[in-house]
Structure 1
Amino acid sequence: MMLGNPNRCVNRHAARPRTVGRLTPCRVASAAPPPIKSTSFDNFVDYILVLQKDILNTAEDLESKRGCKFVVDRWERDAANPNAGYGITCVLEDGEVLEKAAANISVVRGTLSAQRAQAMSSRGRSSIDPRGGQPYAAAAMSLVFHSAHPLIPTLRADVRLFQVGEEAWYGGGCDLTPSYVDEADTREFHRFWKGVCDKYKPELYDELKEWCDRYFYIPARKEHRGVGGLFFDDLSSSEAGFDVESFVREVGDGILPSWLSIVARHRDQPFTDAQRQWQLLRRGRYIEFNLLYDRGIKFGLDGGRIESIMVSAPPLIAWKYNVVPEPGSPEDVTLQVLRQPRSWL
């Protein structure tokens, strides 16, 4: 089975990102809470808006030969309530390097549901009323870049802030999902992120790398989705012992620099139809994780904006029954790595 659209670069003639316009609003609570007023929250929103623009410009530079541009779709969460928030979904498709790339902003305000409040309270957040009802604000920039080349790994990353009252928690990360594990690429990627982490706390890289390996795991397959990187959630400066906001901004700034040298090494290398087919099969694992295990997607599917949630899906995906690579082949080596995380330093 194969899903997707093989058409090439449908927006190649666009001179610049275009705005689709306002779409049907998502479902929100009928009684909107008073918005949280916070300078730090507003500053973070300003930061991710600039970050998104920088990422779009850099990604479009990769597609200069073909001229593919991002479609920019700004939407309102509730047109009748300006305090409810908005999103900016940006998608580039059918590029020479980027078969599908998405870099999205969401800025949301609302009231904690009992379910979400109970989940946060159970993680030790004593300020959260498990009955729900407290106003919250959340902001995030997330991206997924799916390469057209089997030797260029998928890049996933995000930075986000969640605030209730005067308390704020940050999350984010950056990780690679290769179709073929390249040891030099993977070591370089992990060394980059260790260098960022070492500025803040000596053991931080090891903690966040283990967190990433633990999170991006497909129990049904007994495989990890990729070769990891960083992942973190619910971090605050008072608990972490370092300036978490500065760290999160440095993570955001490092997302594309951690990956671009890998693109440069592989983008002009030839590849076979068999390698392309293997890439499509591995993308099947990617979407399996997203739909079965990813907390953010599962939460968003409960009343969220489906186009923005599913924009992370690969454009073409293949499944075949019981594929077993030849022992010792590059495909088999990749599977062995994904079944047992290892140190890349």
Structure 2
Amino acid sequence: MTDTFEPRKAAASAWFSTLRDRIVAAFEALEDGVEGAGDLPAGRFEVTPTPRTGADGEDQGGGKMSVMRGGRVFEKVGVNISTVWGRLAPRAQKAMAARGVPGMEADPRFWASGISLVAHMRNPHTPAVHMNTRMFWTPGAWWFGGGADLNPCIEYAEDTAHFHAALQAACDAHDPAYYPRFKAWADEYFFIPHRHRARGVGGIFYDDLNSGDWDADFAFTRDVGAAFLPAFLPVTERRLGTPASEADRDAQLIHRGLYAEYNLVYDRGTKFGLETGHNADAVLMSLPPLAKWV
């Protein structure tokens, strides 16, 4: 499987990098197009390499952490990519084996590549958002995962409907069973048990996607990523000029507290990134710049 998958790994990694470049360019263009934001300059991404090395200093890949702070539209947004490999630590290896990954108990080697995005907006009427897609490989298995979900502190039904419609169109192009299945998975996954509530209005979530047809699963994953900007940008542009009160800002900060709780306690990506030794700042870029608890 190793020789067969080298070009596939390269193709997946290249796609995630291309998607990152598209999103960064679109977000900076959105910043340029906003007027009347006081004295704030248009936001720009700061890009930091995030190399990964093994215990004996060997190269194990890495990525780019791209973060914009204090923009006109985005109070904080991160768009990270990474392609990493090595051997899973015993705890992560055990977790993978428990999930039924073939051969994981005997061979802890892995390769993973993906893109991860979280945006916390300046205007409380504009929803926060999360998106990620990824490919994972071990000597005995491969799969894709990812999804996107919308996280408004002040919900507008038309925004929720637009976001879901764009994701459904991407799913329906591949399998009409995907959207209801992956929407239900998102509703279950993006739920905060100790608060007895969802962290947002959902979207789609999928993991362990291996239909046996790598090309088809990769095409679906590309389409999920490509659907993100059409799903999110119109919602953002619709709410940019909505006046916000102090009560709106307070609601936003409290909602961000829920988001932080979820990502630190339940999120699989956060746990995996920290357990495999990836750059902690990159792993935790999803945390909001400011939050509040009551």
TM-score, with length taken from structure 1: 0.78
Aligned match of 2:86 in 110, 113, 126?
A: 110
The structure with more helix, counted as a fraction of residues: 2
Equivalent pair of 1:36/1:135 in contact (CA under 8 Å): no
Take 1:279 and 1:141, find their aligned partners in 2: how far apart are those partners? 26
Separation in 1 of the partners of 2:25 and 2:162? 24
Aligned to 2:46: 71
Residues 111-142 of structure 1 deviation map (CA, whole Å, 9 limit, x = unaligned): 133433333333333x22324x3321100111
AA in 2 matched with 1:120: M
The aligned residue for residue 292 of structure 2 is 318
Per-residue deviation, 1:59: 0.5
1:256 aligns with 2:232: no
SS at match of 1:317: coil
Question: How big is the shift at 1:239?
Answer: 7.9
Aligned to 2:74: 98
Aligned residue number for residue 63 of structure 2: 87
> CA separation of 1:239/1:215 partners in 2, compared to 1, >3 Å: closer, same or farther?
farther
Say if 2:213 is the partner of 1:213: no
Contact residue 36 and residue 136 of structure 1 kept, 8 A: no
Counterpart in the other structure of 1:51:
19
Give the secondary-structure state (helix, strand or coil) at the position aligned to 2:132.
Answer: strand
Work out which of the residue numbers 92, 116, 138 in structure 2 matches 1:164.
138
Tell me which of 231, 246, 269 is aligned to 1:273: 246
Correspondence list, 1:1-345, <5 A: 38-64=6-32, 65=34, 66-78=41-53, 80-82=57-59, 84-125=60-101, 127-131=102-106, 133-165=107-139, 167-238=141-212, 243-302=216-275, 303-320=277-294
Q: Match for 2:95: what amino acid?
A: A
The one-letter amino acid paired with 2:227 is G
CA contact (8 A) 1:217 1:225 kept: yes
Query: 2: CA distance between counterparts of 1:295 and 1:119?
Result: 11
Q: CA deviation at 1:35?
A: 10
Say if 2:103 and 2:140, in contact at 8 Å, map to a contact too.
Answer: no
What is the aligned-residue identity percentage? 35
- Using a 3 Å threshold, how does the CA distance of structure 1 residues 167 and 298 change in structure 2: closer, same or farther? closer
Equivalent pair of 2:19/2:225 in contact (CA under 8 Å): yes
**TM-score with structure 2 setting the length:** 0.91
* Preserved CA contact (<8 Å) 1:89 1:308: yes
1:257-278: CA deviations, max 9, x gaps? 1111111111011111110111
Counterpart amino acid of 1:216?
F
Whole-angstrom CA distance in 2 between matches of 1:246 and 1:37: 16
Q: Matched residues in 2 for 1:59 and 1:299: separation?
A: 27
Cα distance, 1:196–1:139 mapped onto 2, change above 3 Å: same
Q: Which whole-Å CA distance do the structure 2 matches of 1:121 and 1:300 have between them?
A: 17
Give the conservation status (yes or no) of the 8 Å contact 1:114–1:130: no
Rounded to whole Å, the distance in 2 between the matches of 1:116 and 1:310 is 18
TM-superposition CA deviations, 1:201-249 (whole Å, max 9, x none): 1111000001001111111110111111010111013189x91110000
Q: Distance in 1 between matches of 2:286 and 2:4?
A: 29
Name which one, 1 or 2, has greater alpha-carbon Rg. Answer: 1
- Cα distance in 2 for residues equivalent to 1:116 and 1:285: 26
CA distance in 1, matches of 2:4, 2:91: 21
- How far apart in 1 are the matches of 2:135 and 2:25? 24
Q: Aligned partners of 2:89, 2:246: CA distance in 1, in Å? A: 49
User: Does the aligned pair in 2 maintain the 1:104–1:142 contact within 8 Å?
Assistant: yes
Partners of 1:318 and 1:114 in 2: CA distance? 36
User: Which amino acid is the alignment partner of residue 296 of structure 1?
Assistant: G
| Partner SS for 2:124 | coil
Aligned residues: 283
**Partners of 2:50 and 2:282 within 8 A in 1:** no
The offset of 1:166, in angstroms, is 6.4
| 1:39-93 CA distance string (max 9 Å, x none) | 00001111111111111110001111532210000121129423x1112000000
Between the aligned partners of 1:97 and 1:129, the Cα distance in structure 2 is: 44
Identify if the C-alpha distance between structure 1 residues 178 and 134 changes in structure 2 by more than 3 Å, giving closer, same or farther. Answer: same
Structure 2 runs not aligned, ≥5 long: 35-40
Residue identity matched to 1:158 = N
